Structure formats: C-alpha cells, structure tokens
C-alpha cells in the first residue's frame, strides 16, 4: 500500500472519530426516532405503497387497453387452385354471349394452369384496442376492495407507529434502569475502597483485627465483579436500543435522565363507556373491520362471475394476405365489434370460491369480537398494573429515606467505635438494596405507563 493510501486511511479514520458524536436520547426523542427510523416502520410504509399501486392498477382496468401484434407465416407452398384436365365447356355453349362474358371473368378457374390465392410469406402488423363495457360489477368491486386495502394498511401502520413508540420507550427505560444499576455498583465499589483505606489505618493502630480487613477486601472484589457485569449489561441494552432506532451502534448513545420521570397522578379505573371508546379508536380494531368490508366486496366481485362479460374492440392491421395486391405490399385492414363472454358451467368452481369467502368472513367476525374482548381485559389489567407500580414507587421512596438515615447513623456510630464493621457493611447493603428497589420501581412504572397508553390506543 502506498503512503498516499495509508495517509488517506488515517485521515478518514480521524474524521470519522471526530464526526461520530454520541446521540443524546430523551423519551420524546426516542418516540420520534421510533416512529420515523425504525425498520418495522419503514417496512410498513412500503406495504402502504404496494397497496396504493394495487389501487391505481385496479382503476386502470376501467380504461381501454391497447395491445400491439405482429406475425410472420411461411407456407410450405404457394396457395393456388386449379380445375385440372377435362374441365371444359361444350362448344354449343361457347357461342352464347352470356357464357362468353362469364368465361372472360371466370376463365382462370377453368384453366389447367394453377391460379394464385396469395403470397407464400405472409406478414401482419397491427394493434387492438379493447374496452370493457360490462363485467357484472367486477371492476367496480375490485377497485373498492383495493381502496379498502389501502385504508386497512394505513390503520395497521398507525398501530405499528404506536407499537414502535411503545417498544422504544420500554427499551429506553430499561437502559436507564441498567445504567443506574451500573452507577450504584460503581458507588458501592468506591465506598468499599474508602472503607478499606480507613480500616487499614485502624488495623495498623490495632483498633481492628486483620479478619475484618480481609472480609472487606473480599467484599470489594465481589463489588468489582458486580460493577463489571452491570456495565456490560447496560452497554448491551444501549446497543439494542440503537439497533431498534436504526442508529449507528459505533457512535454510541447518551441517555438524558434529567427530564425526570412521568407524573402519574389522579388515576381512575375507566368505566365501560370509556373502555368502549378506547376499543373503537384502536387502529388494529378498525383495520380488522376494514378487512371484513374488503371480503364483502370481494364476495360481490366473485358473484359477478355468473354474469356475462361484454367487451368492445377495434382492430387495425397491415398485411399482405390479400391476393388482389402484390405480395410485398402491406394493405390496411380494420374491424370493430362487440364480444360477449359468458361462463355457463365451471363445475362449481365459482360457488366454492364464494363458500371459501363466506367462511373467511365468519373467521374475521369471530376474530373481531375476540379482539375487542381481549382489549377490554387488557386495558383493565394494564390499569391495575400501573396502580401497583405507582404504589411500589411510594413504598420505595419511603424505604430509601429510611435506609439513608440508617446509614448515616451507622457511619457515625462506626467512627465512634460503637458498632463493628460487619454492622456497618450490613447497613450499607440495605441502603444499596433500597436504591436498586427505587430505580426499578421508577423504571417499571414508566414501562407500565407506556403499556397502558398503548393498550388504550392513545
């Protein structure tokens, strides 16, 4: 590799490092990215585009179609006819003026020489315009079905946007929880290092025995391992969030937790009317209702197979198959007309397709009712879970306050020699557990709030 290539590679690496800035994420920013950049959302947009093209194609079938055609035919021999030997007329009739006139016109037919009926090499070039006039309503129902397909896909897309936002927020708060756990584990390790430094001085002065110092060092090793595990788990979850939001993993992300947690107050169990409104506005319920309408229009289109199909057509061509003209001369021909196609007997194929559609309709109606019932139960269940998480936060807040006060008292007593290092460590362990419980309670409440909002369709 030349020096120029090496310098270019180094320069590119340095520029990439400088430009690659970590992405600052807040709950609001996560929701925006989930709705715009996640792969599942982009794929859903393509589904809408596919259905929109199908709708345009269904509309185009109302319009006349133009098709070109060309053909070349070579016969094994030149087409001709001959009356053959003995095809003569009696002399008594040859003097008749009428017979003489007919002989002038039809003389070649009574000749022993073959008469040409056209060229041996036949060429034809032309086009056909075909316009459907009546198809029993099939075109109209197919177009309505395609429009309903687009509307159904839009409803599914809206529900998918809400699902993407819900998933993004759950990943965000999971990242926050693991980040806080890693921070707590780091502070625990620093606290034990400070405790060991104090105990080493106390051991040198003979205030404590060596066993107490060794126990603290063993506990410090345990805290270092827990800190490493918490850091790796936090890093892995951050990468999962970056992948879901379709962000460069190598750039990294920074979680902005200064926005604080959501204010969840004034919770009330929704009544039956409110739950029914939530169910009605859910996009997945509306999409399923549209699918029922789609099958109804499909059924109408299938029933049109029993009716005749009428098409108008115009055909224009240039060919040399006319024996009146030279073989190499293409003559213009055209024809216009109406064609009727009526399927009279198909061994019950159309009827069986209708039966399949009817069964599918029953399935969708059952699925629609089941989905509504499931959503009603889900809303109540998510509400109860949210109330439980709110109460858990209140309990955890009281627990951390008590644990912090207990640690302050224990540290003061330990400095005065009133308690042992074991009692001090136990008090600190209780304080760390209370901190972890509070973080988990906060993040669990945020995750449950996102799930409750998602279940309501808000």
Higher pLDDT, 122 or 181: 181
Distance of CA 91 to the CA centre of its chain: 92
pLDDT for the residue 147: 93
pLDDT for the residue 265: 74
Average pLDDT over residues 379-389: 93
Average pLDDT over residues 216-228: 91
Give yes or no for residue 160 having a pLDDT over 70: yes
pLDDT for the residue 101: 62
Q: How many helices (H) and strands (E) does the chain have?
A: 11, 8
Give yes or no for residue 87 having a pLDDT over 60: no
H or E element in which residue 124 lies? strand 121-134
pLDDT for the residue 8: 45
pLDDT for the residue 16: 39
Within 8 A by CB and 6+ apart from 139, the residues are 58, 61, 62, 132
Torsion of CA 215, 221, 225, 226, to 10 degrees: 40
Closest CA to 107 of 116, 115, 117: 115
Residue appearing with tokens 């133009």: 66
Q: What percent of the chain has pLDDT over 70?
A: 85
H or E element in which residue 186 lies? helix 138-204
Q: pLDDT of 331-374, one tens digit each? A: 888 889 999 888 888 888 889 999 999 999 999 999 999 999 99
Within 8 A by CB and 6+ apart from 160, the residues are 40, 41, 44
Q: pLDDT of 89-141, one tens digit each? A: 555 555 666 655 665 555 555 555 565 666 778 888 999 999 999 888 889 99
pLDDT for the residue 234: 92
Task: Report DSSP state, residue 377.
Answer: H
- For the structural domain made of 22-72+136-319+346-456, what CATH number should be given? 1.20.1600.10
CA–CA distances in Å: residue 455 to residues 282, 309, 390: 8, 49, 18
Pull the structure tokens for residue 12: 């590119």
Give yes or no for residue 451 having a pLDDT over 90: yes
Q: pLDDT of 278-324, one tens digit each? A: 999 999 999 999 999 999 999 999 899 888 999 998 999 888 877 66
Q: pLDDT of 387-416, one tens digit each? A: 999 999 999 999 999 999 999 999 899 888
pLDDT for the residue 252: 81
Most confident of the following: 97-106, 221-230, 248-257: 221-230
Sorted by where each begins, the domain ranges of the chain are 22-72+136-319+346-456
Partners of 115 in the β-ladder: 81
Distance of CA 309 to the CA centre of its chain: 38
Give yes or no for residue 20 having a pLDDT over 60: no
pLDDT for the residue 93: 55
Range with lowest mean pLDDT among 74-83, 204-213, 236-245, 299-308: 74-83
Give yes or no for residue 193 having a pLDDT over 50: yes
Count other C-beta atoms under 10 Å from residue 446's C-beta: 23
Give yes or no for residue 84 having a pLDDT over 70: no
Count other C-beta atoms under 10 Å from residue 315's C-beta: 16
pLDDT for the residue 310: 92
Pull the structure tokens for residue 76: 């094994």
* Bridging pattern class, strands 253-255 and 309-319: unpaired
For CA atoms 282, 288, 292, 297, give the dihedral sign: positive
Confidence label for 455 from pLDDT (cuts 50, 70 and 90): very high
Pull the structure tokens for residue 207: 């205030």
* Bridging pattern class, strands 309-319 and 331-341: antiparallel
Any alpha helices (H) in 20-63, and if so which ranges? Answer: 27-36, 39-60
């Amino acid at each position: 590799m030349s020096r120029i290539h090496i310098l270019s590679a180094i320069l590119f690496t340095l520029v990439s490092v400088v430009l690659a800035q970590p992405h600052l994420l807040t709950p609001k920013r996560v929701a925006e990215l989930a709705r715009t950049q996640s792969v599942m959302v982009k794929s859903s947009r393509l589904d809408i585009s596919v259905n929109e093209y199908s709708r345009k194609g269904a509309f185009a079938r109302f319009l006349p179609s133009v098709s070109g055609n060309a053909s070349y035919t070579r016969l094994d021999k030149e087409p001709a006819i001959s009356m053959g030997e003995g095809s003569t007329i009696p002399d008594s009739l040859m003097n008749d003026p009428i017979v003489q006139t007919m002989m002038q016109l039809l003389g070649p037919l009574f000749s022993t020489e073959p008469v040409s009926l056209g060229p041996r090499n036949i060429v034809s070039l032309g086009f056909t315009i075909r316009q459907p006039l009546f198809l029993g309503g099939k075109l109209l129902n197919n177009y309505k079905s395609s429009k309903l397909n687009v509307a159904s896909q839009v409803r599914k897309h809206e529900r998918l946007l809400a699902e993407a936002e819900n998933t993004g927020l759950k990943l965000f708060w999971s990242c926050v929880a693991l980040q806080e756990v890693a921070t707590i584990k780091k502070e625990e390790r620093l606290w034990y290092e400070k405790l060991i430094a104090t105990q080493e001085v106390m051991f040198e002065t003979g205030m404590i025995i060596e066993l107490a110092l060794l126990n603290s060092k063993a506990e410090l090793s345990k805290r270092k391992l827990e800190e490493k595990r918490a850091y790796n788990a936090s890093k892995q979850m951050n990468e999962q969030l970056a992948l879901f939001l379709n962000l460069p993993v190598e750039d990294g992300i920074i979680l902005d937790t200064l926005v604080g947690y959501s204010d969840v107050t004034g919770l009330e169990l929704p009544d039956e009317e409110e739950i029914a409104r939530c169910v009605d506005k859910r996009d997945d319920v509306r999409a399923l209702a549209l699918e029922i309408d789609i099958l109804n229009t499909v059924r109408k289109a299938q029933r049109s197979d029993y009716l005749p199909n009428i098409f108008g057509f115009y055909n224009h061509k240039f060919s040399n198959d006319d024996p009146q003209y030279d073989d190499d001369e293409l003559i213009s021909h055209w024809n216009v007309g109406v064609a009727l196609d009526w399927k009279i007997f198909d061994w019950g194929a159309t009827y069986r397709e209708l039966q399949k559609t009817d069964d599918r309709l029953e399935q969708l109606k059952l699925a629609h009712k089941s989905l509504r019932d499931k959503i009603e139960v889900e809303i109540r269940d998510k509400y109860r879970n949210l109330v439980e998480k709110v109460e858990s936060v209140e309990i955890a807040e009281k627990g951390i306050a008590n644990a912090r006060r207990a640690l302050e008292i224990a540290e003061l007593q330990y400095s005065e020699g009133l308690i042992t290092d074991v009692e001090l460590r136990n008090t600190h362990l209780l304080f760390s557990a209370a901190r972890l419980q509070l973080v988990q309670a906060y993040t669990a409440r945020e995750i449950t709030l996102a799930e409750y909002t998602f279940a309501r369709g808000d």
